Structure 1
Amino acid sequence: MNDSAVIAAPPMDRVLDLFQGIRLTPTQRRIAHSLVQHAASAAYLSAAEVAELAKVSQPSVTRFAMALGYDGYPALRRRLREIAAAGYGRPDLGAPTGNETQRALRAEADNLDRLAEQLTDRDGVTAAGTLLAGSRPLVVLGLRAAAPLAGYFAYFAAKVLPDVRVLDSGGSLLTDRLEQARAAGANALLAIVLPRYPRESLEALREARAAGMSVVVITDSAVSPAAEYADIVLPAAVGAQLVFDLHTAPMALSMVLLQAICDAVPADSQRRLEEFEQSAVRRQLFIG
């Protein structure tokens, strides 16, 4: 069973551009998310069909189109059709070549290329790094498919931060551990939330915000359901061409974010890294 309910269509990044810099309501965010996830067919759906897809009312779809600056949904649909007609993928590569595995890996390369372009403006990552660097302890949330990424990030973050706590399992203990971290002084949380967006992850973000914590989210798009609860959203596309999702770009972004954390507290980071290296040599941890 694929850990993603839908296959992302090639023009999704162009559809995402329609929403950049626009503050959307939770209902409008659901509509935007549905359009992104069904980018290949969205241009041919009626307002009623989009409403059904997003589980909202038809007037909400009309208001959404107007919030984007269009006269109504028909004008937005024309724009979606222009995007669809513009073609898919890299324009200079022609038709897809290679077998399924090769195409999936090339799509991951495209995801990394888009992430690199996105990081031309590093203000968001820099702000997130500064925010997270100041939290003692730093809480890292990642459930289900995101759990390995949360652990990967936390492993390295613990080398430069004195207290990193990973929340990688749900259930009633999740809220307990979140409350304990808050009581210990945590004022910020990094959440990695990937498709299919675990309900418990969103509930934990809601709890964190209610407790007064700032939230940074690494997720697959700017209109992910997790974005509603985030102070800073750092999007990185997820590959969905294989049976199970590929998380190359989110993992890369997590390391970029850790670099930003180190840059926010350079003296402390360097001191802790040197202390770790001295300890590693004394204990002969590595052979190379």
Structure 2
Amino acid sequence: MNVGVTSGAASGVRALVQGARLTPTQRRIARELVHHADTAAYLSAAEVAEMAQVSQPSVTRFAMALGFDGYPALRRRLRELSSGGAPAAEDEANDLQRAVRDEMANLNRLADTLADPAAVHAAAGLLAASRPLPVLGLRAAAPLAGYFGYFAAKIHPEVRVLDTGGSLLIERLEQAADSGARAVLAYALPRYPRELRDALAEARSLGLALVVVTDSPVSPAADLADVTLTAAVGSQLVFDLHTAPMVLTMVLLQAMSDIDPAATQRRLEHFESSATRRAVFME
């Protein structure tokens, strides 16, 4: 979680919440504490709740998410931060600039991991060979599953996007396995739905290889995966930023298309001919 810095106290509070996995409500509390860092240490939980327009229990849960026993322990730490040390050098970047720059750092880390593309190539091989190819993404990860599915359908003969939970999800996995599927691509991003892990466990019991795109090698889905591909998720704004997982998605699609370039080209040319005939695009 990153928020703006206006004083030494604010810098200390920002360091306190840096890297914490917070809900959108908790991020709102964090932002208010940073923006009022010089006085927040002397406010009650009820006053902080009113300031952030949240419930008082939300303030308690926020403190516990940071590793404190409750709000009183957090307030003691805030007082230490507001009274100790010289003010940090002022950071001229605002909250939005900081969020974008942190995403740039996430992309740089992703680029560093691709120095050894073995995991991406292994994942691409598993996915390209699976017919059909189920692509699983629930809740916040559903758009990424759909994004992959849209482009993968141009180079793969049968892609099935599974982006809705409920009792039908396991049935659709069973149907894919019965139809010849050999692997599943799953997006496991915070906050991790319990239903996703259950679906992955079922897919493994069906004999399907699991390729998981996630934000951390220790995410709840990583231990089930045959191949884990990681890209950090930004948590600097109210809702997570999926910039790096999106880029990793396109890298994976590129690796799949490179497995059989001639077949890829034939499929892409067929799509272009069809799109031209039907005047799908305006240009």
TM-score (norm 2): 0.69
Number of residues of Structure 1 aligned to a counterpart in Structure 2: 204
Deviation at 1:265? 2.2
The corresponding residue for 1:270 is: 265
Give ranges in structure 1 of 5+ residues lacking alignment: 1-6, 11-40, 50-93
Q: 1:281 to 1:196 in 2, by over 3 A?
A: same
The residue aligned with 2:116 is: 121
Aligned match for 1:9, one of 5, 16, 19: 19
Within 5 Å, give how 1:58-207 maps onto structure 2. Answer: 96-207=91-202
Q: How far does the alpha carbon of each residue in 1:83-109 deviate from its partner, in whole angstroms, 9 at most, with x for none?
A: xxxxxxxxxxx9754111110111001
Question: Residues 206-244 of structure 1, C-alpha deviation per residue, up to 9 Å, x if partnerless?
Answer: 001111000000000111111011000000000001000
Taking CA–CA contacts closer than 8 Å with sequence separation of 6 or more, which of the two structures ends up with the larger relative contact order?
A: 1
Q: Which amino acid aligns with 1:238?
A: V
Paired-residue identity, %: 62
Q: 1:262 to 1:188 in 2, by over 3 A?
A: same
Question: Which range moves more in the overlay, 250-259 or 261-270?
Answer: 261-270
Q: Taking structure 1 as reference, are residues 8 and 193 closer, same or farther at Cα in structure 2, changes over 3 Å only?
A: farther
Query: How far has the Cα of 1:112 moved from its partner?
Result: 0.4
Partner of 2:76: none
Rounded to whole Å, the distance in 1 between the matches of 2:103 and 2:123 is: 24
The one-letter amino acid of 1:9's match is G
| 1:267 positional shift | 1.8
Please give the per-residue CA displacement for 1:13-68, whole angstroms capped at 9, x wherever unaligned: xxxxxxxxxxxxxxxxxxxxxxxxxxxx89xx9xxx9xxxxxxxxxxxxxxxxxxx
Distance 1:147 1:8, change over 3 A: farther
CA shift at 1:269, angstroms? 1.1
Which of 228, 235, 238 is equivalent to 1:233? Answer: 228
Question: How big is the shift at 1:8?
Answer: 5.7
- RMSD across aligned C-alpha pairs, in angstroms? 2.0
What SS does structure 1 have at the residue aligned with 2:234? coil
Letter in 2 for 1:157: A
Deviations, residues 102-128 of structure 1 (Å, cap 9, x unaligned): 101110010001001110100000111
Amino acid in the other structure paired with 2:186: A
Q: Give unpaired runs (5+ residues) of structure 2.
A: 1-16, 21-65, 70-88
Letter in 1 for 2:153: A
